Amino acid sequence: MGSVIDVTIEEGSLTEKKPTVVFVLGGPGSGKGTQCANIVQHFGFTHLSAGDLLRAEIKSGSENGTMIQNMIKEGKIVPSEVTIKLLQKAIQESGNDKFLIDGFPRNEENRAAFEAVTKIEPEFVLFFDCSEEEMERRLLSRNQGREDDNIETIRKRFKVFLESSLPVIEYYNSKEKVRKIDAGKPVEEVFEAVKVIFTSNSEKATV
């Protein structure tokens, strides 16, 4: 199974069609998944969740999946190249040219590796800014049977998010690529703000 993931990218097959990539970042419980579903429906993007791709790989029972599972259990971040190869494979197989990449890059090293390997820079970064109290409340109230939704694990995930992801947001901010959304508001209001960003961006693209 490992060989399926080790896709060697021939002469930049990804760069030929230069897909549009938007990174979606926000703490656990900031509502990224819900808003990504809305963006897919309204703007025709393909939603790639780094976490979902990793979970699917674990489910497949491959050697790679076992390694990923062990790292997640220990609270470690999965090596960049593993996640990037899963993302690349999903991009190539989708047939679309517009992608929301959710929950990635998790840190500066992820970001640099993604750009170096894929030669893709994101169009922009959608950052769902939400207070820790609000995210905690949401995570504890959603009962999706995810074993990682207990208070200790939640706080650990916040800490990892803040320490790892903020440098990524700062980096893209310096390039004026961050679009910050107040994610503490009700879902409909948040999506109104999201729509404005995507509509103005697609207008710019067609100019």
Annotated binding residue 106: yes
For 97, residues 6+ apart whose C-beta sits below 8 A from its C-beta are: 17, 18, 19, 20
Annotated binding residue 137: no
Annotated binding residue 184: no
Task: Supply 72's token pair.
Answer: 């997640």
Annotated binding residue 33: yes
Output the DSSP codes for 70-121: HHHHTTPPPPHHHHHHHHHHHHHHH--SEEEEES---SHHHHHHHHHHH---
Annotated binding residue 142: yes
Annotated binding residue 207: no
Annotated binding residue 66: no
Annotated binding residue 179: no
Annotated binding residue 155: no
Annotated binding residue 78: yes
- Number of H helices and number of E strands within the chain? 10, 5
Annotated binding residue 18: no
Distance CA 201, CA 9 (A): 29
Annotated binding residue 76: yes
Annotated binding residue 26: no
Annotated binding residue 43: no
Annotated binding residue 2: no
Task: Supply 162's token pair.
Answer: 């803040």
Distance CA 46, CA 99 (A): 5
Annotated binding site for CMP: 110
Annotated binding site for ATP: 29-34, 142, 185
Annotated binding site for a ribonucleoside 5'-phosphate: 55, 76-78, 103-106, 146, 157
Annotated binding site: 29-34, 55, 76-78, 103-106, 110, 142, 146, 157, 185
